[in-house]
Chain A
Amino acid sequence: MNVMLSAIDRICSAAAAVAAVLLGLLFALGFAEIVLRSGFGISLPIAVEYSGYLLVLVLFLGSGWTLTHAGHIRVTLLSEVVSDSIVRLLDVLCSVIALLISATLTVALIEYAYGTWVRGTVSYYSSETPLAYPQALLAIGPAVLTLALVARILRLLTGRVPEVKTAETAEPAP
């Protein structure tokens, strides 16, 4: 069990690290576009299109890691007034509901990407990028989140701590 849980943790961290790198790329792409356009009058043909792809990945790839680091928002009013054992039970229930939704989203995104691949749809930009690729990458984020929810449920059921507190960041919450 521990092997599996730590494997899922590593997948979550790796996906979040990739998201961080892609965020850096998103900045670099935007910066390159501004410099080239204002300095040399050249516009990168892929800038707008690829920043859109990078954006959806940045928003989703870190989702599983964010779950294990208590970063997703939930209403905690009820869990503050009931006993610890009920909190744990309720947490299992919520995690199972979230797992169902997350799995639905993951499967739907994979099917959507597959459908795009079968039809061979390409982007309407000049690059004519086959849209199945970014769409398939988009499905990875929810897939990792689904795994993180499985790990969370297993931890709750076996009396382990479901999430870790992280070092301070500028944005404790919105």
Chain B
Amino acid sequence: MIGAPIAVVIASLVVLLGAGVWVGFSLMGVGLISLSVFRDMPVATFLAFDVWNSLNTPEIVALPLFILMGEILFHTRLSESVFRGLTPWITRMPGRLLHVNVVGCTLFAAVSGSSAATTATIGRMTLAELKARGYNENLAIGSLCGAGTLGFLIPPSIILILYGVLSETSIIDLFIAGVVPGAMLAASYMAYIAIRVMLNPALVPDDQASATWMDRLKAIGELGPILGLIAVIIGSMYAGIASPSEAATIGVAGALVIALAQRALTRQTLALAFMGAIKTCSMIGLILTGALFLSKAMAFLGLPQAVAASITALDLSPFALILLLTVFYIALGCVIDGLSAIVMTLALVLPLISAAGFDQVWFGIFLVIVVEMSQITPPVGFNLFVVQGLTGASIGRIAKASLPFFLIMVAMVIVIALFPDIVTFLPRSMG
């Protein structure tokens, strides 16, 4: 009877997570409990075997290195350079400097694997500046929250690396697939800002900022470091020269060069960057260990097949299944962070997706967009927390300012569900 193991897994997961046991320990605990109850096996020995064997994986090497790269860049003046470099290019666009949020986040997302890091790095530069110049604060906050989530979608991406490892999908394919939807989202955000400002010009200050082509050409120099780094990291992976971990190694070297050139490379900033990276690595390491072990435990108990069978029995159309999963992940994302939401559910959800005939690369991108939404939904949304830290505004207000951008993401999910080729054509044509 498969009902009992499912009940035990879900109940113990809800109790442990709900009580506030750290996510990684909760997942590990559920695996230990369910295997001890339902299987006669040396559970702890199996845990040790699993930790050693599944974490000792070359693909995961990219993870700490991309995190380190983001930490080093955080301590440089890259965000100031991006701001100065972008400003002369957007003086003619309706909404002017508001677009710096979107384009800045898009560029930074291409050298950072995390949404929170992207939001924090660009936001600490733009928000104060936009406010001082008299831009509408809600639109400034909302566009930052929305665009900050691109950190997960545009490669490199921590979540896509984890998804690739857990689902045994090519990380390079995932990285290639994230680019077009990421660019489409950024373009939609910019279009929304432009439309809002055209309808109500009072949202932006009435300064007669202008820029000559000379200014613009000079500004490219400011953008040089970040564009160069993007070209090296993404270019080397797309050209098939480098694996994700090699690209991450090159990325760390590039970040160090930029920090050195900007004279931001002191012993103190280096120590801060490394310790910050260790903190994030430890956090992800514990969750990943728990998730990998729980996945194995559930497989031992036959849960993925059972869940897949019962969902198949509902005879949902693929589109209805995706709708159901969207609602499920948005609800889950309201109470738990996106990364945890993905790793703890993947073992059960992937068999469903394969059975319904969805492409695993496509599903990874779908998941990331849905999880990005959870970054800006209250009460638990990490981009909201980051922006609260930057502005001091209430979570409710930030969430409200982000709502239009949330709705744009919902529309994006519908679009990629209707036209999956948007996601899959690039990896297919390059693979």
Give me the interface of A with B, judged by CB distance under 8 Å: 16-17, 19-20, 23-24, 26-27, 30-31, 34, 48, 51-53, 55-56, 58-63, 65-67, 69, 71-80, 90-91, 93-94, 97-98, 101-102, 104-105, 107-109, 111-112, 135, 138, 166-174
Instruction: Flag if B282 contacts A97 (CB, 8 Å).
Output: no
Q: How far is the CA of A97 from the CA of B112 in the complex (A)?
A: 35
Contacts of B65 on A, CB cut-off 8 Å? 26-27, 30
Of B116, B275, B288, B340, the residue contacting A172 (CB under 8 A) is B116
Is B358 at the interface (CB under 8 A from chain A)? no
Q: Given that A172-B382, A173-B382 are contacting pairs, would A108 and B61 also be in contact in the complex, using a CB cutoff of 8 Å?
A: no
Identify which of A60, A77, A98 contacts B380 (C-beta below 8 A).
A77
A65–B286 Cα gap in the complex (Å)? 13
Chain A residue contacts of B282, Cβ below 8 A: 16, 19, 59-63, 65-66, 71-72
With A23-B274, A26-B65, A31-B253: A78-B18 Cβ-Cβ less than 8 Å: yes
Task: Please pick, from B17, B273, B338, the residue contacting A174 in the complex, using a CB distance under 8 A.
Answer: B338
Q: Are A171 and B20 in contact (CB under 8 A)?
A: no
Among B22-30, B191-199, B308-316, the stretch in contact with A: B22-30
Could you tell me if B278 and A19 are in contact, using CB atoms closer than 8 angstroms?
A: yes
Q: Are A79 and B20 in contact (CB under 8 A)?
A: yes
How far is it, in angstroms, between the C-alpha of A97 and the C-alpha of B30 when the chains are bound? 11
Checking B23, B158, B249 against A73 with a beta-carbon cut-off of 8 angstroms, the contacting residue is B23
User: Would you give the shortest CB distance from B344 to chain A, in whole angstroms?
Assistant: 11
> Which residues of B are interface residues toward A (Cβ below 8 A)?
16-25, 28-29, 32, 44-45, 47-49, 51-52, 55-58, 60-61, 64-65, 67-68, 70-71, 73-75, 112, 114-117, 120-121, 158-159, 242, 245-246, 248-250, 252-253, 271-289, 335-340, 379-380, 382, 385-386, 389
Contacting pair A105 B28 (CB below 8 A): yes
Is B55 a contact partner of A56 (Cβ separation < 8 A)? yes
Tell which of A31, A58, A173 touches B116, judged by Cβ atoms closer than 8 Å.
A173
**Which chain B positions have C-beta within 8 A of A98?**
21-22, 25
**B68 and A23 form a contact (CB under 8 A):** yes
Task: Return chain B residues, CB-CB under 8 Å to A23.
Answer: 64, 68, 274, 277-278, 281
Write the nearest CB–CB distance from A12 to chain B, whole angstroms. Answer: 11
Bound form: Cα–Cα A2–B285 in Å: 30
What's the nearest-Cβ distance from chain A to residue B276, in Å?
A: 3
Cross-chain contact of A94 among B20, B117, B245, B250 (Cβ < 8 A): B20
A73 vs B23: C-alpha distance when bound (angstroms): 6
B318 CB to closest chain A CB, in angstroms? 29
| A63 / chain B contacts, CB cutoff of 8 Å | 282, 285-286
